[in-house]
């Protein structure tokens, strides 16, 4: 099996969940604990936020370190960091599996052509996620600016710290209902912390848990001969 490299720490709660999804899924499939070797390089949250346009150089350097440590391919347990995926993946020693591509595969499997996207302001307001889905004929809609700011606050002041509240759950659920009313046939939880707050039972349309989908894709890739 291939060794999985994980760029983690953005934030630590979702990195832990991503790791556990991989190992639990392996046990479900195989019934033993011989899951792939996993190497995690934990990035300082502040370091990534503060580096701005130099983020691509930071991530490329981390991937080179994971390669040197023995990883056969790389994942990043964070949606926002994928803004540099297209640029970085062209010139790295090992493949970087995209979270967007994994999500696309699951959306296509459900034959959905329009989805709502929830995540950080960074993910919702930039177009890297929307472009990745559009390449496969999937339209993406996002909440309005006010809702984006509140969802971002919930992520950074609560979910990144492992805190969930009934009020925040109610707010995000209302945002999902609004996206459905605007034509979304499903909703992408495009932040690896959002699944702590929102589950499928909280919505009447399919909810795409990017953390879980990505973990399963990483395991599949690791197990491919």
| Gap between the Cα atoms of 221 and 2, Å rounded | 8
pLDDT at 225 over 70: no
Confidence of residue 52 (pLDDT cuts 50, 70, 90): low
Question: Which domains does the chain possess?
Answer: 4-99+213-223 (3.40.50.1860), 100-208 (3.40.50.1860)
In this prediction the pTM is 0.94
| Gap between the Cα atoms of 175 and 198, Å rounded | 11
Handedness of CA 39, 218, 28, 12 (dihedral sign): positive
Which pLDDT does position 17 carry in this prediction? 94
Beta carbons within 10 angstroms of residue 118's beta carbon: 28
Percent of residues in the chain assigned helix, strand, coil, to nearest 5? 55, 15, 30
55-91 pLDDT per residue, tens: 888 899 999 999 999 999 999 999 988 999 998 998 8
């Amino acid at each position: 099996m291939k060794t999985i490299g994980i760029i983690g720490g953005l934030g630590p709660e979702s990195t832990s969940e991503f790791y556990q999804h991989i190992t639990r899924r392996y046990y479900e499939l195989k019934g033993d604990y011989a899951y792939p070797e996993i190497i995690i390089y934990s990035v300082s949250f502040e370091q990534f936020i503060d580096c701005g346009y130099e983020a691509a150089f930071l991530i490329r350097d981390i991937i080179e370190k994971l390669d040197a440590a023995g990883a056969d391919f790389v994942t990043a347990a964070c949606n926002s960091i994928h803004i540099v995926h297209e640029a970085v993946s062209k010139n790295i020693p090992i493949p970087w599996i995209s979270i967007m591509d994994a999500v696309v595969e699951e959306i296509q499997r459900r034959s959905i052509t329009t989805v709502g996207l929830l995540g950080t302001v960074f993910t919702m307001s930039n177009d890297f996620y929307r472009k990745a889905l559009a390449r496969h004929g999937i339209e993406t809609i996002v909440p309005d600016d006010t809702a984006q700011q509140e969802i971002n606050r919930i992520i950074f002041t609560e979910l990144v710290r492992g805190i969930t509240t009934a009020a925040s759950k109610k707010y995000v659920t209302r945002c999902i209902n609004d996206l459905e009313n605007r034509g979304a046939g499903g909703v992408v939880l495009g932040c690896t912390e959002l699944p702590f707050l929102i589950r499928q039972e909280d919505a009447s349309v399919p909810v795409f848990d990017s953390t879980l989908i990505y973990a399963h894709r990483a395991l599949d890739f690791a197990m491919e001969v």
